[in-house]
Each structure stands twice: as C-alpha cells, then as structure tokens.
C-alpha cells in the first residue's frame, strides 16, 4: 500500500475530493484519506496505474504531494 503525505488538506470535504478523484481511475483498488494527519493511503494495481500518476492526480486537484512515508 502506498502512503503519501500531502499539504493543503484541511477537512473531510478535501478528503472526499481526493477519494473521488482517485476512484475515477482504473487500477485504484482502494484509497483512504486521513485529513487530520494529512496522509493518503492507496492500494493500486501497478499494471494499470503508476505511483507517479497517483501523485499527479492529487496535485492536479489542488493538493500538494510532500513525500512518500
């Protein structure tokens, strides 16, 4: 499972936005957003989507990927 630290997330609405964005992509098996600790956890199929693409999706919707944990 990929764990990504992010910035600019402040509430459950933000978490929902990230969850919905990731859910639209083939290869995302499961995601969980912990807005209080500013983490996104993603289980994904590496044959269908890359770690870099997941980070790009998060950045594109207005959040900032800090690092992998």
Q: What is the pLDDT of residue 67?
A: 64
Q: What is the pLDDT of residue 35?
A: 93
Handedness of CA 5, 61, 56, 50 (dihedral sign): positive
Q: Using 50, 70 and 90 to split pLDDT, how confident is the model at 68?
A: low
- Average pLDDT (4-26) is 94
- Taking only the tens place, the pLDDT of each residue in 16-50 is 999 999 999 999 999 999 999 999 999 999 999 99
The whole-angstrom separation of Cα 50 and Cα 10 is 26
Coil, helix or strand for 7? strand
Q: Determine how β-strand 2-7 pairs with β-strand 39-44.
A: antiparallel
Q: Using 50, 70 and 90 to split pLDDT, how confident is the model at 4?
A: very high
As beta bridge partners, residue 63 has none
């Amino acid at each position: 499972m990929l764990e990504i630290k992010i910035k600019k997330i402040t509430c459950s609405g933000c978490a929902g936005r990230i969850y919905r964005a990731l859910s639209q992509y083939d290869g995302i098996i499961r995601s969980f957003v912990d807005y209080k600790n500013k983490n996104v956890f993603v289980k994904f199929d590496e044959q269908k989507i890359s770690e870099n693409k997941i980070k790009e999706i998060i950045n594109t919707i207005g959040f900032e990927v800090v690092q992998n944990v």
